[in-house]
Amino acid sequence: METIRNYLETMFMNLPSSPEIYRAKNELWQMMEDKYTELLENGKSENEAVGTVIAEFGNLDELAEDLGIAQFLQQESKVPQGKPFPLETVKEYLADKAKNAFYTALGVFFCIISVCGPIFFGALAEYFDADGILGATGGCSLFVLAAVGVGILVYSGVRISKWKNIGQEHYVTDFSTTEYIHQEMEKYKGTHALLLTVGIVLCILSVIPPMIMDEFSAYSEIWDYCSGAFLFLMVGIGVFLIVMSSMKLDSYNTLLRLNQKDTIGGNYVPNQQNAPQYISEGVAVVMSVFWPTVTCLYLIWSFLTFDWWKTWIIWPLAGIIHSVIKNTLKKQG
């Protein structure tokens, strides 16, 4: 059954997606399925049944005139629609991207926690009243951690550059490969939801250590001094989880977007159809960084003022602004 499905989907992959072509595909599938089922009922082996169904399928050229796809069928034989992107490469790409997501997130993590060094050593210095050596160590640790973070980011950037032509050249994935990517993505979505939630919760809860440690300061001042370090540590872990998981999810979407949007094969990505088209490139760029920017503004405002009870107002406001922009600057039709 799977073989027949693959065969049919591959035949239709590069055709434009129109209601007539969908209907043709579904009707042909109905007939093939019926024939296959009956062959099996008549005691044929699965291989025999698949062979018969495919042999008796015919040729799409017969439908060319009725469906108005003649030019596509000709085109296909003249110029290749894109380089094939086989399943092994897909697996290699996904594995590579997953590793890269980890490295990038780790780099970001080190950059964020680099400020913990000075805070922690500063607290020790304050506590032992020995500013000299401890203060210097703190200053050094900031640069060491930041250097490690940036180093990892550079490494991961260079490491992934071998895949950079994915966005530039035109590749296509066949039906079974697309199906595989899609299934893998669906499987990962649960993990993604969990990691994202934990990441966001950690970022929000990061204000708790300073609050609690404030209370401990009665016992020992050192708690109060280094409470900021814990805040950044929690934010660092939270951001690590968010970045890693989002990047991994993004790699599936990148692959699913390889097939041309207006063909049957490209219709596989539901969120691709939903992605709105904007009137100009500039708007599209602004919109793509809208939510990260809002998040940054929220965090900056919150951490600068610690007025958490009123900074949340950014989110509903941003939501309204986002839908206003989306609806007014969206490309019509």
Partner 1 sequence: MSISSDVIRGYNDTMILYLLWEKPSYGYEISKQIKLLSKEKYIIKETTLYSAFTRMEKNGYIASFPDQNNATGKRRTYYRITDSGRAYYREKCAEWNLTQEVVGKFIMKGERMNGDN
Residues that bind partner 1 (CB under 8 A): 20, 24, 27-28, 30-32, 34-35, 38, 56-60, 62-63, 66-67
3-state DSSP: the chain helix, strand, coil percent, rounded to 5?
80, 0, 20
* Pick from 3, 14, 5: nearest CA to 173: 14
CB of 54 to partner 1, least distance (A): 10
Phi and psi of 279, rounded to 5°? -65, -30
With respect to partner 1, which residue has the nearer C-beta, 62 or 129? 62
Phi and psi of 275, rounded to 5°? -60, 120
- The string of DSSP codes covering 42-92 is TT--HHHHHHHHHHTT--THHHHHHHT-HHHHHHHHHS-SSEE--HHHHHH
With respect to partner 1, which residue has the nearer C-beta, 24 or 181? 24
171-172 vs 83-84, strand pairing mode? parallel
- DSSP 8-state symbol, 332: P
Cβ atoms 163, 258 nearer than 8 A: no
With respect to partner 1, which residue has the nearer C-beta, 58 or 132? 58
CB of 82 to partner 1, least distance (A): 25
* Pick from 54, 64, 58, 83: nearest CA to 20: 64
With respect to partner 1, which residue has the nearer C-beta, 35 or 159? 35
Phi and psi of 10, rounded to 5°? -65, -40
CA angle, 132 then 133 then 137, to 5° = 120
Distance CA 114, CA 250 (A): 27
CB of 108 to partner 1, least distance (A): 51
With respect to partner 1, which residue has the nearer C-beta, 60 or 200? 60
With respect to partner 1, which residue has the nearer C-beta, 60 or 287? 60
With respect to partner 1, which residue has the nearer C-beta, 62 or 281? 62
Cβ atoms 210, 177 nearer than 8 A: no
CB of 81 to partner 1, least distance (A): 21
With respect to partner 1, which residue has the nearer C-beta, 23 or 331? 23
Distance CA 50, CA 6 (A): 11
CB of 11 to partner 1, least distance (A): 9
CB of 255 to partner 1, least distance (A): 31
CB of 43 to partner 1, least distance (A): 16
CB of 8 to partner 1, least distance (A): 10
- DSSP 8-state symbol, 263: B
Phi and psi of 330, rounded to 5°? -75, 145
